[in-house]
Amino acid sequence: MVRAVDVESIRNRRFKVVVDTGCGAGSLTLPLLLRDLGCEVLTLGAQPDGTFPWRNPEPTPEALTELSALVKKTGAAIGAAHDGDADRIVFMDENGDFVNEEVLLSMMAKYMLEREKGPIVTPVSSSQRMADVAKEQGVELYWTAVGSINVARKMMEVSAIFGGEGNGGLIFPKHQYCRDGAMACAKILEILAGGKKLSELTKSVPVYFNAKTKTPSRDIVGTMGRIKYETSIMGLKTDLIDGVKIWYDDGWVLIRPSGTEPIFRIFAEAKNQARAEELMNKGLEMVLKAEMV
């Protein structure tokens, strides 16, 4: 892994990094990797335990309050937190503020494309930021169904230089075609070695706002079919890669059935929060109407 990053530039900075591995698989790997990269490493929950006694293994902001506090208290460059199996990772900036995973995804895509041009891949649930970055860099963006396996397969098909999901799951094909949280952490440090702070880097990508909800369904297949039909006769601009994604001039809404529960998940994005919530509610209304038939 260290061969895939600029080791010398990272070691020269001797970053202080706080890591919360949540008693998961990353407890055995991330602290060792960072020390090998010359970092001063402070750890939280770095004792492997499959019962996850330290915190919820999902690295949400609510589960990472201790990480945030320790970053601020120690003056660390970043905080990093794994999920249980360590294929995903999220970050706190130097102020202890959580970095939105969609911002992380597009920020990394921009960094990779500034060094090598080529296609990028992400699911239809990802932010418009990825499309903006691809357009700015003059490369092709490929949308896929939700799921890292779908992203990885498309990356291999189109020889993409980068891909990932807006959940901390980043894929660097020159390393491997799998999500790898430790690799993502090493790449973040490589970026920071250029001299900017993480809080500054998060402002280098476009700003969008999101809203999401879910609703139960008594007939997933039938309801999905009725929504697809309704949007087609309305002449809406849609994408049917995974569920129905409806594009508007100022945002989008995605309606997709859960793969594990009898529910529909509804995601929306726009340039302001009010519009994102409006689009989310439009999507919800479509589902409720289709359920009534």
**CATH classification code of 2-92:** 3.40.120.10
Q: What would the mean pLDDT of 179-191 be, rounded to a whole number?
A: 97
Does the structure show a pLDDT above 80 at 34? Answer: yes
| Amino acid identity for residue 265 in this structure | R
Q: What is the pLDDT of residue 4?
A: 86
pLDDT tens readout for residues 116-167: 999 999 999 999 999 999 999 999 999 999 999 999 999 999 999 999 999 9
Average of per-residue pLDDT across 257-266:
95
Q: Which residues contact 286 (CB under 8 A, 6 or more apart)?
A: 227, 230, 231, 255
List where CATH 3.30.310.50 sits in the chain: 209-291
Residue 68 CA, chain-centre distance (Å), reads 19
Report the C-alpha gap between 270 and 284 in whole angstroms.
16
Q: What is residue 275's predicted lDDT score, i.e. its pLDDT?
A: 98
Q: How long is the chain? A: 293
CATH no. for 101-204: 3.40.120.10
Query: Is the pLDDT reported for residue 2 higher than 80?
Result: no
| Local structure of 135: helix, strand or coil | helix
Q: How, if at all, do strands 120-123 and 141-144 pair?
A: parallel
Give the integer Cα–Cα distance in Å for 104 and 67: 18
Q: What are phi and psi of 38, to 5 degrees?
A: 85, 15
Q: pLDDT tens-digit profile of 245-260?
A: 999 999 999 999 998 9
- Alpha-carbon span 261 to 220, nearest angstrom: 10
pLDDT above 70 coverage of the chain, percent: 100
Alpha helices in 75-147 (DSSP H): 101-115, 128-137
Q: How far is the C-alpha of 15 from the C-alpha of 35, rounded, in Å?
A: 10
What is the average per-residue pLDDT within 170-197?
97
In terms of Cα–Cα distance, which of 62, 81, 22 is closest to 46? Answer: 22
Mean pLDDT score of the chain: 97
Q: pLDDT (tens digit, 9 = 90+) per residue, 46-103?
A: 999 999 999 999 999 999 999 999 999 999 999 999 999 999 999 999 999 999 999 9
Specify the pLDDT at position 3.
Answer: 78
Domain with CATH 3.40.120.10 in the chain: 2-92, 101-204
Q: What per-residue confidence (pLDDT) applies to 51?
A: 96
8 A C-beta contact, residue 29 and residue 86: yes
Q: In the structure, what pLDDT confidence band is assigned to residue 279 with cuts at 50, 70 and 90?
A: very high
**3-state DSSP assignment of residue 121:** strand
Tell me what pLDDT residue 1 has: 63
**CATH code of the domain made up of 209-291:** 3.30.310.50
Q: Is 137 exposed, middle or buried, given 0-12, 13-18 or 19+ CB atoms closer than 10 A?
A: middle
